[in-house]
A and B are shown apart, each in its own frame.
Chain A
Amino acid sequence: DVKVTQSSRYLVKRTGEKVFLECVQDMDHENMFWYRQDPGLGLRLIYFSYDVKMKEKGDIPEGYSVSREKKERFSLILESASTNQTSMYLCASRGTGIRLDPTDTQYFGPGTRLTVL
């Protein structure tokens, strides 16, 4: 089974702090993603990476950056946390495999619920 883990389930930070959210996958997947999930808004893509040291902006990248130094690890960084970044953050990974594989999809981590005070 694919396993995607996130460093914390719950995190409380103060406004202005630098925050690191870590995600690790054990399936040698090329693609990794960071989403935020808010009630009534669904999942919105922040950043994704299709290879080591490669990254692309998603739909809401403002206020975030990412780092992918190793294939299995994808970090989301909040340079200066703000209260409007209080949210649930979900990491996902997917292999660049054959689209016809019925199991081909994004696999999600358990999420980090971040509160910024």
Chain B
Amino acid sequence: AQTVTQSQPEMSVQEAETVTLSCTYDTSENNYYLFWYKQPPSRQMILVIRQEAYKQQNATENRFSVNFQKAAKSFSLKISDSQLGDTAMYFCAFGPNYFGNEKLTFGTGTRLTIIP
């Protein structure tokens, strides 16, 4: 069974600064997917970024990028030039690479607050 650990329950950072959210996971599989989801206050959870384990290149989406270290089983999210709209709960999630098992395993989340 897979486990996902987010060791930072809460973080805060000044607007325009860079912040990194950490995530580690445990799996015996070689091919899989990793995700970061964002849940703004009282709003729907949305996908921020995803990473395929077979890809060495780190995924980027505008101000969001990941540092994927497969050997260390680490998957951190970096938010550059943080904005007030980045205030949210962030969840790291692990997904299998085969059909028939669609389960995602989520971490416990990090509550990020961007301070004006």
Contacts and interface: CB of A to CB of B under 8 A. Distances in A.
Interface residues of B, number: 24
B102 A31 contact: yes
B106 interface: yes
B45 A42 contact: no
A58 B97 contact: no
Contact of A105 (B35, B99, B109): B35
Contacts, number: 45
Interface stretch (A14-22, A43-51, A64-72, A78-86): A43-51
B30 interface: no
A110 B50 contact: no
B109 A42 contact: yes
A58 B103 contact: yes
Across the A-B interface, the 3 shortest Cβ-Cβ residue pairs: A108-B45, A42-B108, A43-B106
Interface of B: 4, 6, 9, 33, 35, 37, 43-47, 50, 52, 91, 97, 99-100, 102-104, 106-109
